[in-house]
Chains A and B, each alone.
Chain A
Amino acid sequence: MSGIATSPLLVVEGLKKYYPVRGGVFGAKLGDVHAVDGVNLSVMPGETLGLVGESGCGKSTLGRAVLRLEDPTEGRVLFEGRDIAKASKQELFTLRRELQIIFQDPYSSLNPRMTVGEIVREPLLVHRVGGKAEQVEKVRALMETVGLTGEMLERYPHEFSGGQRQRIGIARALALNPKLVIADEPVSALDVSVRSQVLNLMVKLQREFNLTYVFISHDLSVVEHVSDSIAIMYLGRIVEKGPTQRIFSRPAHPYTRALIAAIPVADPEQRHESVPVKGEAPSPVSPPPGCPFHPRCSYAIDACKSIVPPLEPVTALNPGTSGEHLAACIRKHEI
């Protein structure tokens, strides 16, 4: 990237996604699951934003809402200035060429009845890119780009290992030369030795095609490796975000600290003597009042039970840019 200030490729503003909870004989609405509850984000072109949080925090819903695989309840999703949340069907169809997704499970995300060649070619067919010969050539090139060979095109997904399937999923995602790729736990189902192969591939492709990633994961060590900046989610909200190095060296939110402290280290000389955080995340149907983390937080004071802490700058560095370090904790300067 050059030194010239560019504008973000993706901006998410006040995004909310609620799911109704129904019950009783007539299916009356009992309440809402606040899956995503007012998220603001921006991602610069060519960068990777790591979206981290535990199960049920809303990170996958947020990723899907960005692609409009879910209709947001409220808020805007601006891709190069165009609002995806309000785009018409036709606009969405055009936009989707630039936005792609890689799924977690390489076993369920590929159609078992289609050959690998058909799977990778499908986006080209749907979007009518080039003629047949051109498409076949493109598919062959894509296979080689992701470290597979053209001879594999006639084979079916079940003939491939988990790591190879994930490569096929990546090839499909790249078929339309997208600008933004949402990777939803792309390596979580893979074994360690294969995981590093796929991570290396994703980093290589990012450099080669200047891709922008939103990398969703529960695994902080993987996210630390691939991300330029990180956003930590808890119960539908972002509780902290900032440049990766800064988040790991100076985490400001008690939840971020707990998450980092909870990673088991592959070193028997660095065992944990204590538990970093007690309890489990409460249900997003009835989030606690005030700061959503306060029932588990060892720093919580009375004010935390009533004040919903806004996401505010931790330092005066890089104000208003993606390099800014923000945290949603009223005691961020004390702890």
Chain B
Amino acid sequence: MALLEIDDLKVGFDTEAGLVHAVDGVSCSIGEGRTLGLVGESGCGKSVTATSILRLVPSPPGKILGGEIRYQGTDILKLPREDLSKIRGKEIAMIFQDPMTSLNPVFTVEKQMSEVLKLRFGMNKEAARKRSAEMLATVGIPDPQSRLGSYPHELSGGMKQRVMIAMALLCEPKLLIADEPTTALDVTVQAQILHLIRDLQKRIGASVLFITHDMGVVAEMCDEVAVMYAGRIVEQGSAIDVFKRSRHPYTKGLLRSLPQKGAAKKADLPTIEGVVPSLLHPPKGCRFAERCWKRKSLSAALQKTCFDDDPQMRAYENGFVACHYPLAGEEP
């Protein structure tokens, strides 16, 4: 059984203009010790999906409209508050793009870390201090003893990110949700943090749900990948299959539009024309149809299907794709 299963999740936000269907029927699962990447451009619903798992979607305006999120078989969305808080932090921990989301600016690192240990494990001050210092050393913070006395503002961006990761790992969670954890960091520090997450995952055997817009970071980190577009998953499979043998024209389009190393300088990059449809009134057919380069190569009769029918997720040998006319999955 998978550790976490998301089944037909639907999340909406009330706005002045009406209900925005930010996540509209997302299903995916993460196995023990595996890393699933949730990738897509801004507004595709990847972060809303992730924050729904711990029921952290601000409500109002957000509300879960349907679906289940099963953690070890139990539907998190139906758990009473007190049971939910047993899962939060202890079983499932989350790290964010901005470390200040989870660090309190008025307490020292030690105070924040030992609070968790006292609550969860009933540790005394000395034991908590020792464990906190060990954890800071684990995430690569030099001189952890003196860092315990620091306030968050005294730390650099990379250091704050490390402290946040250390805090997330204090309770040895079985699932770590990482929401764009390196997006605000410099590329050399990003490489360090990615390496750290992978290394710690191996050591404690946790599963990771990794949310990012960066195709490079997904390729670097994930066993499996789910590509999201306009509130839906459009393609899912092993990282190798999704990257090397993309089935969905959107996935292929995204990968093609990245500048290739050593490619002709200043040559036109392939683009995806147009813009993402409004999720206030999503189109009735395929949400990508308007922008789809593959559709444009089809006959008028076939194109009609793209505009009229909502493509369902279909399984193929190595994954899933939601497209009426998927690509053959050939290597580029």
Contacts and interface: CB of A to CB of B under 8 A. Distances in A.
B240 interface: yes
Interface residues of A, number: 47
Interface string A258-278: 110111111111111011111
Contact of A224 (B188, B261, B272, B273): B261
Contacts of B254: 192-193
Interface residues of B, number: 46
Nearest to B259: A225
A97 interface: no
Nearest to B250: A193
A161 interface: yes
A159 to B, nearest CB: 12
Contact of B213 (A191, A263, A278): A191
Nearest to A225: B259
B156 A271 contact: no
B135 to A, nearest CB: 19
Interface string B243-255: 1100000000111
B189 A272 contact: no
A252 to B, nearest CB: 18
B188 A259 contact: yes
B302 to A, nearest CB: 24
Nearest to A266: B215
Contact of B259 (A221, A262, A281): A221
Given A268-B239, A272-B191, A275-B192, A195 B156 contact: no
A222 interface: yes
B258 A192 contact: yes
Interface of B: 41-42, 156-159, 186-192, 194-195, 213-220, 222, 239-240, 243-244, 253-255, 257-259, 261-263, 265-266, 268-273, 275
Closest 8 pairs between A and B when the two form their complex, measured CB to CB: A264-B216, A193-B272, A54-B186, A225-B259, A196-B269, A191-B41, A268-B239, A196-B257
Interface of A: 54-55, 161, 163, 191-193, 195-197, 199-200, 203, 206, 218, 220-222, 224-228, 244-245, 248, 258-259, 261-272, 274-278, 280-281
